[in-house]
Each structure stands twice: as C-alpha cells, then as structure tokens.
Chains A and B, each alone.
Chain A
C-alpha cells in the first residue's frame, strides 16, 4: 500500500548547518505516528519542509504517491496535507464560526466566490456543524476567537486543520500550554480523530505520545535516530540515553 506521506533522502542545509540530515521516512495510511526528539533536533524544520514553508536542499516529499516537493504550501493543503501550529495561529478578530466557514468554503472552492454569503450553502453549513460538534465548539461559535479560553483556542486550532479535510494531519504539540482542567477534553478529541486521517504527532509530552501513538520516530541532530513501536522505542537504551532520560526512568 502506498504510504500516506513519505520522504526520501530529505536534506536541508542552512549555510553550514545541516538541519535535516538525509531523512527517509514513511507515514502509513491511518497511522498514529509520533515524532520526538530533543530541542533543536530539527522537528520544526522537518514540519516546515513537509508543509512547503521552506524548500529542501535535496530529496523528495511524496503525499499519497504524488511528488509534492515543488508545490506551494496552499496547494499541498488542497491535496490533503494540513497542519496545526505549536503556537496558536488563529484569526483573533474572527469568530470560530467564520474561521471554520472560511476553511470549509475554501476547500470546496468557494474562496473565489465573491458574490454570495457562506450561509447560503447547505453543504458548508452542515459540515461546519459536524466539525463544531466533533471539536466541542458549538457553544462558542459566535464568540470572538481572541476571547476564547486557551483550551478552546487549541481545539479550534485543530478544528481548522481538520476542516481542510486532510488525508494527513500534522499535529505540532497539540496539548502545549493547555491547563490541566481543559486537557482531558483536548486529548479525547485528538484520540477520536477518524482513522482515515493519518496523523503525525510532534510532541514533547511523553504521556500523550504513549497513549496516542502506535509508532514513534526519534529525530536527533536532524537525522532519524531510530524508529519503532512504542514498546521498542521506550525500552531502547540508546533512546533513553539521548532523549528520554528520566522521563521514562521514573
């Protein structure tokens, strides 16, 4: 089966610094795959390469069997590769309803429609409702995004990406900074993402990684250090040495 997302020999150099060092990586269909690594390991660069914010020095990126290495970011989104951001990137002045409406109508090609209002299309309305319910946003739909509780903003962050109907979803530390009281809701929503979406999770929080992922890749100094199931990686002494350290030792 073609993997959902694949990189071949991906290299990114910034001057003398090799930020991504020959990464060959597979994200299987329907996977729950976590990418971990110490600070400065190149996780962010890797994400930016995948989404097209920066171009690789060499190497290939393949989405659902199609080479997307040269595609602009928005075209990758249109082909089913969406991401969330570690630090919320929302539209503070818009409501969650407008934000979701925007994402859904863009996906349906409505962004070029300059004559009708969004609400006139039943398909869009239905999908907004479905997403709002899935991400527990129904009761805050008409509030200003900047006024939402942080946990809700975090949910919206994922909901917007989900509204792009991705085949592959990159979650960049989805639970970062979420207070304990709102955490459960967020994790439950992430766990309930449908299986036809393949998820790559970039995360520091080992509890979340172990509860969510079925495979883990470890990135060290820009290169793939090791990869395996949760058991393999969490018991690998080399991984403990470079990264997990006390967080597994208890």
Chain B
C-alpha cells in the first residue's frame, strides 16, 4: 500500500516534466518549415522572434501573474544593445545575444522592485512608464541610437564563424528558431521545477505561498529578471536578423501586440506565445494582403471575439478530442490574478 502510493506519487510528479507527443510534433513541424517553406523564411523568422518575446511575457504573466504593458522595454533594450554592439565592430551574433540578455536582465532586476509593489493597475502603469522613459531616452540619445532615423550600419558576422546571413532569411530563421527552441526548453524545465511550482502557487494565492515559507518577492524578482533577459534576446534576434533597429522596438504597440499574441494563444502553458505568434502573424499577413489599410480592424475584431467566446472553452473542446494532451494544461485559472507582493 505504502510503496504503491509512493510509486503513483512519484509517477504523478514526474509526469509533469515529460514531453507530450503533441509537443514533439509541434517542434518537428516547426523544423520542417525550414525545408518546406523556403520562400517564407522572412516572416517565419519574425514569428519565431515574436513567439520568443511572447514566451517571455508568459513567464511572468502566465506563471507568476505579473501583468505588464511595457515588456517592449526589455525587447527594445536587447535590440539596441545587440545593434550597437554590431555597429561598433563586435559582429559575433552570439556575443550580441549574451550582451543583450545581460543588459535586459539588469534592467529587469532593477525595475522589478518598482513593478512588484502595488496592484495590477499599478503594475500596468509602472511597466508602461518604464517603456516610455526608455523610448524617450533612445529618441534623445541619437548619437548612440541613431534616434528617429534608426540604427544604421549593422553588419553581422557569421554565426559561430560558420554560417553567413543570407538575403532569403534562411540562416536568420534557422538561427532564431534554434535560439527560441533552446530557450523554450530551459523555460519548460523551469516551470515544472519546484521553483516553477512555487511561482504558480504565488500566482494562485500569495498569502498561502508566504505561509508555507516561500519568499514571495524574491521569487518574483527572479522570474521578472529572467523574463526580461528572454525579451532582450528576442529583441537582439530581431536586430541581428534584420540588421536594423528603430525606435519602433520600444514603442507602446510592441508591448500591446505581445500581450495580444499571448491572449490569442493562451497564457500559462508556454506554447501560447508561440501559437499566438503564428496566428497573429499569419492573420496579419493574410488580412493585410486583402485589405492593407484596415487589417488592424479585423485583428481587433478577432481579439474581441476570442476574449468574449472564451479561449478556455475553445481549447477545452479541442483538448477533449485529444485526451493524451490533457493533464498538463488543465491547471490554468484566470490569468490576471492579483499578487499583493508588497514589502520588497
């Protein structure tokens, strides 16, 4: 009896970490687009980058319940860090990624102390404010960033000294996809770890989380910092693969878009950002080809419908048809829970 229970407990706990068939299929399909859709690599590259950016938002929103309307601050900082580095002669892409990640992580760590106090509304406003401040700094410091003209003259070296970027975006897409995949694997590991479990517990009930001895604020600072680093890497990928950075990377619509992407794809299961990015970009592509001036109208309408129809319900229905994939994503309550994380 006792060993039986122990075995089932162990199995149950370990199951959380195991890869499902659907997940493996997802990444196989993603990899196959390298060969099957050679003429679409430019847009696929963008999808991978936005997917990674949305994944970084999911880490704080879906797993820790921290809302943000200024996630572009980290994305933009990463983009500028990587861009400026390349312009000034440090052309190695991986070096750029590393520097961008560190720069964004430092900003994330510092601002986390501002963000993690107060209500959801306070968080929205503080994150928004941080992004605005950063955007204006980038605008004013044109000697460094090129200001409104954008950062020109980025010349990337080959990746690992082997793979030159090409005009079809094949190297770029491969690069972005591999980086996104590797960071996804790390994030996936993190969210099923005891640390990840503690984040979910904070999101669900911070009062109780504290009462089982979890240092709530420290955990939130850590995930906010990590999420910032991820966003920084996404920004760096954009700068490196498009070889251009403009103020657009820090703009409000970046932060809003990534939130939209995550809402479309669903929060709290990591794939939401990736799936949302695919849907968002494909919709944008299709609708803007059809009606170039009014595509945002349709995106807006679709967003309203998704939220009203309740994506939860839609996905539940799909999941009911697919019993194998159940279990991992069922643990998802309302995404916007409050985390009263005071006393930093």
Binding site for B on A (CB under 8 A): 51, 72-75, 77-78, 82-83, 85, 89-95, 97-99, 101-103, 105-107, 110-120, 125-126, 128-129, 132-133, 138, 141-142, 144, 160-161, 163-164
A-chain residues with CB within 8 Å of residue B204 when the two chains form the complex = 91-94
Docked Cα-Cα span, A89 to B6, in Å, equals: 26
Contact A107/B195 with A126-B6, A129-B5 known, Cβ cut-off 8 Å: no
How far does the alpha carbon of A93 sit from the alpha carbon of B267 in the complex, in Å? 14
Interchain CB contact under 8 A, A141 and B12: yes
Q: How many B residues, CB 8 Å from partner?
A: 40
Q: Are B213 and A107 in contact (CB under 8 A)?
A: yes
- B189–A115 contact, CB under 8 A? yes
Q: Select one of A89, A97, A141 contacting B211, CB under 8 A.
A: A89
Contact of A83 among B12, B16, B193, B211 (CB under 8 A): B211
User: Complex: how many Å from CA A120 to CA B2?
Assistant: 18
Question: Per-residue CB proximity of B1-24 to A under 8 Å, as 1/0?
Answer: 010011011111110110000000
Judge whether B211 and A118 touch: CB under 8 Å: no
Q: How many angstroms from the CA of A102 to the CA of B195 in the assembled complex?
A: 9
Q: List 21 A-B contacts (CB under 8 A).
A: A74-B210, A74-B215, A74-B216, A77-B211, A89-B205, A89-B208, A91-B200, A92-B204, A92-B333, A94-B200, A102-B212, A111-B194, A111-B198, A114-B189, A115-B189, A117-B16, A119-B17, A125-B6, A141-B12, A161-B211, A161-B212
Most buried by A among B2, B195, B197, B204: B197
By secondary structure, the B interface counts as helix
A47 and B68 alpha carbons, distance in the complex (Å): 35
- Nearest residue (CB) in B for A113 is B194
User: Does B235 sit at the interface, judged by CB under 8 A?
Assistant: no
B88, CB-defined interface residue at 8 Å: no
Q: Is the CB of B194 within 8 A of A106?
A: yes
CB contact under 8 A between A142 and B17, given known A85-B208, A91-B201, A105-B194: no
Measured between alpha carbons, how far is A107 from B205 in the docked complex, in Å? 18
Chain A contact residues: helix, strand, loop or mixed: helix
B190 touches A114 (CB 8 A): yes
Residues in chain B near residue A95, CB distance under 8 A: 12, 331
Q: Which A residues are in CB contact (< 8 Å) with B11?
A: 119
Q: Bound state CA distance, A114 and B208, in angstroms? A: 21
Contact between A106 and B212, CB atoms less than 8 A apart = yes
Residue B166 CB within 8 A of the other chain: no
Residue contact A103 to B197, C-beta cutoff 8 Å = no
Question: Among the interface residues A77, A114, A141, which one has the most CB atoms of the partner chain B within 10 A?
Answer: A114
Which one, B13, B198, B200, B201, contacts A117 given CB within 8 A?
B13
Residue in B closest to A110 when the chains form the complex, CB atoms: B194
Q: Assess the A118–B13 pair: CB atoms within 8 A.
A: yes
Q: Which residues of B contact A51 (CB under 8 A)?
A: 211
Identify which of B10, B17, B197 contacts A102 (C-beta below 8 A).
Answer: B197
* Residue of A whose beta carbon sits closest to that of B197: A102
Task: Judge whether A101 and B210 touch: CB under 8 Å.
Answer: no
**A128 is contacted by which of B9, B200, B207 (Cβ under 8 Å)?**
B9
User: Is A97 in contact with B189, judged by CB distance below 8 angstroms?
Assistant: no
Tell me whether B332 is interfacial, beta carbon within 8 Å.
yes
| Complex Cα gap A89–B211 (Å) | 9
Q: 1/0 per position for B158-178, CB-CB distance to A under 8 A?
A: 000000000000000000000
The answer on a CB contact under 8 Å between B196 and A114 is: yes
A113 to B343, CA, bound (A): 24
Interface string of B316-344 (1 = CB under 8 A from A): 00000000000000111100000000010
Closest partner residue, chain B, to A78 (CB atom): B213
User: In the bound complex, do residue A102 and residue B5 qualify as a contact, i.e. CB atoms below 8 Å apart?
Assistant: no
B311 at the interface (CB under 8 A from A): no
A residues less than 8 Å from B213 (CB atoms): 74-75, 77-78, 103, 106-107, 164
